[in-house]
């Protein structure tokens, strides 16, 4: 035990203490969305705006069926951080379409999310 304390106090830190800080997510992201339920896909853009230390307001813009534009905003809560990764989660009631749930793993350059609602599920894939 003394050897461990001597090494720790002397400035040699465990690997976990040297992990990368969580990335900043603010700004514009681009990519695509895809439905696992029916195979539909389309372009997707997002803007991340910080809402304090533990949430981001995310506004998505995209197209459905190649010609139908959509815009969707939600607050994504930070549910975890570590080693250069942020974990996000959101839940938003959409009336007759049910509750839309999203979970994401985000790095400084990648946003990989899954979504599900009463009649659909799929992925959002965004890059900087």
- Annotated domain spans of the chain: 20-127
pLDDT tens per residue, range 72-118: 899 999 999 988 999 999 998 988 878 999 999 999 999 999 999 98
pLDDT at residue 4 tops 80: no
pTM: 0.80
pLDDT score recorded for residue 14 = 41
CA distances from 21 to 25, 91, 107 (A): 12, 26, 10
pLDDT tens per residue, range 40-80: 999 999 999 999 989 999 999 999 888 899 998 999 999 99
CATH of 20-127, one of 2.40.128.20, 2.60.40.10, 3.30.420.40, 3.40.50.300: 2.40.128.20
Element (H, E) at 11: none
Q: Which residue has the higher pLDDT, 125 or 92?
A: 125
Radius of gyration of the chain (CA): 19
């Amino acid at each position: 035990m003394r050897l461990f304390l001597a090494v720790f106090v002397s400035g040699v830190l465990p690997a976990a203490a040297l992990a990368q800080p969580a990335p900043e997510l603010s700004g514009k992201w681009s990519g695509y969305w895809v439905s696992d339920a029916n195979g539909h896909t389309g372009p997707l853009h997002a803007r991340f705006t910080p809402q304090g230390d533990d949430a981001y307001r995310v506004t998505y813009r995209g197209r459905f069926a190649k010609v139908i534009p959509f815009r969707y905003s939600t607050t994504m809560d930070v549910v975890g951080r570590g080693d250069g990764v942020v974990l996000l989660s959101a839940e938003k009631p959409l009336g007759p379409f049910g509750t839309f749930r999203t979970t994401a793993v985000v790095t400084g350059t990648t946003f990989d999310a899954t979504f599900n609602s009463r009649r659909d599920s799929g992925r959002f894939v965004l890059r900087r």
